[in-house]
Amino acid sequence: MRTKILDKFPQLTARDVKSTTMGERGADIQLSEAAYEFFPYNVECKSLAKVAIYKHYEQATSHGTGEPVLIIKQNGSKPLAVIDLDHFMMLVKWERVN
């Protein structure tokens, strides 16, 4: 994720975007004030062997040529939108340009 942010915003440096170590408190990607201006998100990263949500996302990809989006909702929680990371980064970059 750190690399994706740095690639998308070349004006930022490695000092602006840092990965934390496992078990460290706070967001998994620490941003400088300058980086937060470009990428105002609190990032939590998980890498798991298997996540059931992928099966549902794959279903969204089979519906046509549009960009797939999966909307999920757990009882008592806000709905979430699941999109491809590269598409998300493109949206963030586009928002900064416009």
2-45 pLDDT, tens per residue? 999 999 999 999 999 999 988 888 999 999 999 999 999 999 99
Residues above pLDDT 90, as percent of the chain: 82
Residue-averaged pLDDT of the chain:
93
Residues linked to residue 71 through DSSP beta bridges, in sequence order:
81
Confidence of residue 72 (pLDDT cuts 50, 70, 90): very high
Contact 67, 42 (CB under 8 A): no
Nearest CA among 25, 28, 26 for reference residue 5: 28
Confidence of residue 98 (pLDDT cuts 50, 70, 90): low
Q: What is the pTM of this model?
A: 0.84
